[in-house]
Structures are given as C-alpha cells and as structure tokens.
Amino acid sequence: MNRTKVAKERVPFWLRWLVPVVLVLTWLGLAGVGGPTFGRLEEVSSNDQASFLPASAEATEAQDWQAKFRDSDEVPGIIVIEKNEAFTPAQLGELATLKTSLEELKLGSTVIGPIPSEDAKAVQFVVPVGSSVEVKDAVKELRETVTEAAPQGAQTFVTGPAGLAADLTAAFGGIDGILLLVALSAVFVILLVVYRSLLLPIMVLLTSVFALCAAILLVFGMAKAGWIQLNGQSQGILSILVIGAATDYALLFVARFREALTHTTNRTAAVLTAWKASFEPILASGATVIIALLCLLFSDLNSNKALGPVAAAGILCALFAALTLLPALMALLGRAAFWPFRPKLLPADQREPELVTGLEGQKGLWRATGSLVARRPRTVWVASVLLLLVAAGGLFQLKANGVPQTDVILTASNAVDGQDALARHFDAGSGSPAVVIADQAKAAEVLDRVKADDGVGEAYLLGPGSVPITGAPGAPSAPDVREGRVIINATLNDAADSLEAEETVKALRTGVKAVDPGALVGGVTATALDTNTTAQHDLVVIIPVVLVVILFILMLLLRSIVAPVLLVLSVVLSYAAALGVSAFVFNNIFGFPGADATVPLFGFVFLVALGVDYNIFLMSRVREESLKHGTRPGILRGLVVTGGVITSAGVVLAATFAALGVIPIMFLVQLAFIVAFGVLLDTVLVRSLLVPALAYDIGPKIWWPSKLGRTDGPSAVRPREPGVEPLEEVPSR
C-alpha cells in the first residue's frame, strides 16, 4: 500500500468530508441571512452629530433642557432664495404665499418667513423638520417646492442643519455599493497577481464577504437593541476592516497550507498542519486588534464608543471565517485551489518547512533583504529610525481641531452653496442660533451679556411656542418659563459650523456664567465644539490604554519583554511618521482646510493595531525558527519565509482602506490615506528592515527574560559567521 493511501486511511471520513461540508453550509446560511441585512442598516443608522455627544457635555445638557420647552428633535432647514438684483414688491408678495405651501408639507412646527435681506436680493425661510420625518426626504420635498415657487432667474437653496444632513446622507449613499465593489475589485486583482490562480482568490474573497455578512448581523442586532449608535462612518469602516482583515488572515493560512502541500499528498492532513501553524499568530493578531478597538469604549464620545464594538465584531467574524470557512474550503478543494500552478510534492531531502515561502518568485528579493540585514544590521535600523523621525516631523503641521461642516462634503452640495448665499445676505448663523438656558430671575442680565458679544448679531428671549419676544404686535410679552428657566436664542455673525462661531460660543459660555453660574450654552455650534474638545481628550486617554494592552498581548505571545517593547515602539514611530507625511499631503497637495478631531485617534487605533499584526506574523515565525536554529539565523529565516505573504497582506489592507477614498467625505478620505500609507510604510520599512535589523543587532537578548534569551537554541553550540550559512541554506528558485 503506498503512502498516499495510508495517509488517507488515517484521516476519518467525518473529518475529510462531513466537517468541511457542515462548516461551508453553516457559513452559507449566515451569508443568506446577513446579505439582505445590508439594506436594513439604514433603519438603525443616524448621522446626527448631537446624538453622539457624551451625556456630560454642556451642549447635551442644553439640548435636554430644550426638550422641556419644545420638540428638541426638530432640525432647522434654512431656505434661501437669491437673485442678482433686488426683489420687487410684487415678487415678495408672491413669496409670502410660499409660507403656506411650506406649512402644508407638515414637516414640523411653525415656518418662519419670508425674511428679506437688507440688500433685498435674498429671502430666507426657516422650516423646522420634526423627528417623525426622514430628513433627506423632507429636504427633497423642500427643494422641489421652493424651485417651483421661486421667481424666474432666482437661485434656490435648502441649507442649515437639515440641508447639510441630507447632503451628508447622500454622500454616504455609496457605502453599500460603490465602496464594496471598489474594495473587492482591488483585492481580487492583487490576489490574482499573488497566487496566479483564479479559484483561490475567489475562495479568499468568499471568506471575506461571508465574514462581512456575519458581522452585519451582529452589528444590526446591537444597533436594534440600542447598545450602539451606528452611523455612516462606522458602517464604511466596518466593511473595509472586515475585508482587509479576513484577507490578511487568509493569506497567512494559505501560505502555510501551500507549504504543507509540498510535504504531503493528503489535503486534509495539509489543512490540519496549516491550521495548527497559523492558529496562534492569527488568534493573537485578531485578539490584539479586537482588544485595541474595544479600548474605544473608554471614549467620552458615543460615536467612538459605537465604532469600538462595531469594528471588533467585524474582526471577530473575520477571525472565525479565516479559521473555519477557509480551511473547510481548502479541505474540499486541496491542490485544485491553486490551479493551474498547483504545489508539487518535494523530494524527502528538501522537505524543510522553514525553507518554503509559499509564494513563488519572492525568494530572491527576500534573500537579498536578509543578506542586507545580516551584513549591516546597525546601519539598517539606524537609517530606518532616522527616516521615520524625519517623516514624523510633519506631525506638527497636522490641523486636527475640526473643520466646518460645509467642508466635510467634498462634492457639489446645494446645502454648502446655500451657506455661502446665507453669509452673503444675512447673519451667517441665521437659522442655527446658539441657545442659552438661563435662570428666569437673571434672564435680563444674561440677555444683555449675550447681546454685548461682538460675535452675536441678534439675541432674544423665546415666548410660548418658541416665538421670539420682539415687541412687535402679536409677539408674546413674557418668556416661556419651565422649572424656573428660560431660553435665549443668539444669532451668530459667523456661520454656525465655522471656527469663528466656536470661538463666539466659548466667549458666550464665559460671559453668561459670570452672570448666571448655572447657565448653559448649546445649539449646533456648541455641539461641534464639544465634539472636538471631547475627541482631543479621548486621544490622550485612549492611546496609553491601547499601547499597554498590545504590549501585554505581545509579551504573552513571544514570552519576552524586550521584543514586545521594541515592537510597540516601532509601530508608534511608524504611526507618527505616517501622520507626519499625511499632514504634509493634506495641507500642500489635497488643500484640506484641516482635519476632524477624531482622525488622529482612529488612525492610531487602526495603524498601531494593524501594524502590530505584521510584527506578530513575523516575530512568531522568527521565534519558531530561533528555537530550531538560534536567534540570528532564526531572524533571517523568518524574514525570508514570511516576506512575501506579509508584504502581500500589507498591500491588500492598504488597497482596501484606500477604497474609502471613493466616499466623498473628508474624514473618510483622510483616514483612507493615513491607514493605507501607514500600512505600506509599516510593511515595507518597519517590518522588513527596522525590526529584523534591530533584533539581529541585539541578538539572543531580544528574548529576555525567557530561556531562549539565555541559551539561543541549537546555534548556541554551533558558532557561525553571522548571516552567511543561514542564508546559504535557503535555496534560490
């Protein structure tokens, strides 16, 4: 009986066929349920910035008080009708009838207007949009109604918070379709180049897509139960993260599987060998990213808290898919998965696992890299560090203190154009006033202090029904009082989403509290201000937590203290360099006015967690080789063996994150560049040169205090010329 038949007899039928088939059918069922759920995410998703604020924020407290006076869920839509010349009295009379048409839409409470501008070239309406109406549908109705009623030659805009929210929702509309198509297409092309096979890339992509379907089910359930607040940003990042992570894990498993197929003709035995070899690094990698993402729960921003569980759920599903679905598919397909370049069984004297890369055509490049590291380790790592430090110098140019909401959307927007028209003819903050909640007894003093601020164009108390007390006929004579408090509206001179308006809110908070210590300042501008302030605070709190968690996991994996500390320092330096280069690109090439305050935090979490991934893949293999051959030969062998697969994984992840750039939202475009560039930098420079050269220079002490750091494996009793014999043992192809 030949060896092949013996091997097959040793693997029971249930393991060869039953388990793989059951696993594949289970994942097919998850995909069948999760796939259609994509279209339902909108039911549990919101892009309302105010809902993401922490409960302790002053804007949140002010919003809670507003709810006691009126429906605080109403979002103002600002209609601006503009002409190049002044409106005639007849045209103004016609526009007065537009108010009736707008009220007949029954979108919310009382419509205010028409309000002519001082130059008579524009007319303004304020239309509150209630929570019972979809903002995007309401804005669409408003735009159609206003366009029909506007005089000939006039331009019409629907702007304000409602208009901007509608255009933001439209910009996110490509997440489910375009984003996935671009990401999957990019990954497919890369996998075709890597594997030179048609079937294997399809199997890897199926693993990624099925993992995403399972993640969607988890996220939808969490959002439906009210555990998280899902938004468009989290939804887009989830798709990219799952596809990228699942593909990375798949690349590592497939490399081990291909390697195992060169040693046995039994596909099931090869799958089991590959699974055992890849299980620990994949699990450690996934656990690192999951725990790092869950550190976002320490954030004060509800939006950040939501992203943590959302992204962690995605990584968890990617992890399970890579360790269950993909092995099952490979167990069923065997060598056929690699057609037409199927791996061949090597002669017995060449079956040294450490000498097989699993990726044809890469051996020469990584052999040369290993030779460079062995000949000049100190020169290589010092030069790498200096290069990263120079790149990190641009970090001080990063303007991550928030951007106006009108700059967030990168494509043409009627709402953004409307804000410009509003600023040309009215107080720029019209329709989105700052809201002051004050004690009734001190209302007059607080109102005087608000009016005295240079950034305020107009301020007034609100009467019953949120009607301004202006002294005009029919206006209320006394303010609306709830639990001893009143509301003051302050129209700002600057656009509500501008940095100048935020400075006015800061001044108002200082001024009114000098009169009434319990006064609160809220509104659209205050919400943006508190969001940016909280995001900057989160950066200081969460970064140390993430680093400590990652360091602890690496210590458990590598059974060392020195190596994990150096790895964490390397990815932090890589992150700083990526952010520095990104700041230069944003300011001087893309011409962005700034960056969202959450960009550095999200960039850190993804880059550090994912950057450690590749170091885990490398150093876990280096430790495995060091136990057999000693530390320095083990470093060179680990570098040569893992070079192709880790570089391919980095390119795949960079490509998937780069796909975020197709969504015309500044935050996502910036995050796409930071992570894509940072991953490539980490893969090409840090993991390929800096880490191996530094570890080679330090030698066995890299494993301190473990036993390996004292004995240095078998090579401790076999003195060799560093970097010569180990490399010569790796045959070129």
CB 525 within 8 A of CB 432: yes
Look at residue 319 in the predicted model and tell me its pLDDT. Answer: 93
| Residue predicted with more confidence, 361 or 697 | 697
pLDDT at residue 503 is higher than 70: yes
Query: What pLDDT shows up at residue 470?
Result: 67
Q: Residue 622's pLDDT is what?
A: 87
Three-state secondary structure call for residue 546 = helix
Across the range 94-115, mean pLDDT stands at 84
The CATH number of 57-171+408-496 is: 3.30.70.100
Q: What pLDDT is attached to residue 348?
A: 57
**What is the SS3 string spanning 465-514?**
HHCECCCCCCCCCCCCCECCEEEEEEEECCCCCCHHHHHHHHHHHHHHHH
The band of 705, judged by pLDDT with boundaries at 50, 70 and 90, is: confident
Q: Is the pLDDT of residue 590 over 70?
A: yes
Per the CB < 8 A criterion, the answer to whether 642 and 356 are in contact is no
Q: What is the DSSP letter of 409?
A: B
Longest CA–CA span in the chain (Å) reads 106
Instruction: Give the pLDDT of residue 437.
Output: 92
Burial of 7 (0-12, 13-18, 19+ CB in 10 A): middle
Is there a shared CATH topology between the 1-44+197-319 domain and the 362-404+540-733 domain? yes
Query: 14: helix, coil or strand?
Result: helix
pLDDT of residue 25: 92
Model pTM score: 0.80
End-to-end CA distance of the chain: 33
Question: Quick check: 640 pLDDT over 90?
Answer: no
Contact (CB, 8 A) for 488 and 462 = yes
Contacts of 88-92 spanning 24+ positions with Cβ under 8 A: 91/151, 92/116, 92/123
pLDDT number for residue 723? 40
Q: Domain 1-44+197-319: what homologous superfamily?
A: Multidrug efflux transporter AcrB transmembrane domain (1.20.1640.10)
What is the distance between the alpha carbons of residues 142 and 398, in angstroms, rounded to a whole number? Answer: 39
Asked if the model's pLDDT at residue 299 lies above 80, the reply is yes
Q: What percent of the chain lies above the pLDDT cut of 70?
A: 86
Kindly indicate the confidence band of residue 305, based on its pLDDT and cuts at 50, 70 and 90. confident
pLDDT of 2 > 50? The answer is: no
Report the range of poorest mean pLDDT among 147-161, 344-358, 421-435. 344-358
Residue 112, phi then psi, degrees to nearest 5: -105, 130
Residue 264: strand, helix, or coil:
coil
Neighbour order of strands in the sheet with 520-523: 456-461, 485-492, 434-439, 520-523
Mean pLDDT across 305-329: 91
pLDDT for res 326 = 93
pLDDT number for residue 259: 82
Distance, in Å, from the CA atom of 699 to the CA atom of 633, rounded to the nearest integer, reads: 10
CA distances from 725 to 208, 253, 375, 600 (A): 41, 29, 12, 45
Of the CA atoms within 13 Å of residue 370, those in its CB half-sphere come to: 30
Residue 379 has pLDDT above 90, yes or no: yes
The pLDDT confidence band at residue 49, using thresholds 50, 70 and 90, is low
- Domain at 362-404+540-733, CATH from 1.10.3720.10, 1.20.1640.10, 1.20.120.1750, 3.40.470.10: 1.20.1640.10
- What is the tens place of the pLDDT at every residue in 217-229? 998 888 888 787 7
Distance, CA of 614 to CA of 60 (rounded, Å): 41
pLDDT of residue 733: 31
- Taking phi over 0 as left and psi of -120 to 50 as alpha, with beta for the rest, 661 belongs to alpha
Helix, strand, or coil (residue 345) = coil
Share of the chain above pLDDT 90, in %: 20
Structure tokens at 114: 């028409």
Alpha-carbon separation of residue 524 from 27, 107, 133, 495, 531 (angstroms) = 45, 20, 20, 10, 11
**What three-state secondary structure class fits 75?**
strand
Q: How many CA atoms lie within 13 A of 381 on its CB side?
A: 19
Average pLDDT estimate for 463-472: 70
> Where does residue 713 fall: left (phi above 0), alpha (psi -120 to 50 degrees), or beta otherwise?
left
Q: Of the ranges 401-410, 612-621, 675-684, which one carries the lowest mean pLDDT score? A: 401-410
Quote the pLDDT of residue 36: 79
Domain ranges of the chain: 1-44+197-319, 57-171+408-496, 362-404+540-733
> Which pLDDT score, from 0 to 100, does residue 602 have?
87
CB 463 within 8 A of CB 480: yes
* Cβ neighbours of residue 499 closer than 8 Å, sequence gap 6 or more: 401, 402, 404
Mean pLDDT, range 365-369, rounded to an integer:
81
Comparing 732 with 526, which gets the higher pLDDT? Answer: 526
Tell me the average pLDDT of the chain: 82
Residue 347 is given by DSSP the state P
pLDDT of residue 346: 63
Taking only the tens place, the pLDDT of each residue in 532-570 is 888 888 888 898 988 998 898 888 888 889 999 999 999
Least confident range from 60-74, 260-274, 364-378: namely: 60-74
Least confident of 189-198, 270-279, 307-316, 520-529: 189-198
Residues 208 and 246 sit within 8 Å (Cβ to Cβ): yes
- Give the strand pairing for 434-439 and 520-523: antiparallel
Condensed to tens digits (0 to 9), the pLDDT of residues 53-84 reads 676 788 888 888 887 876 556 788 889 999 88
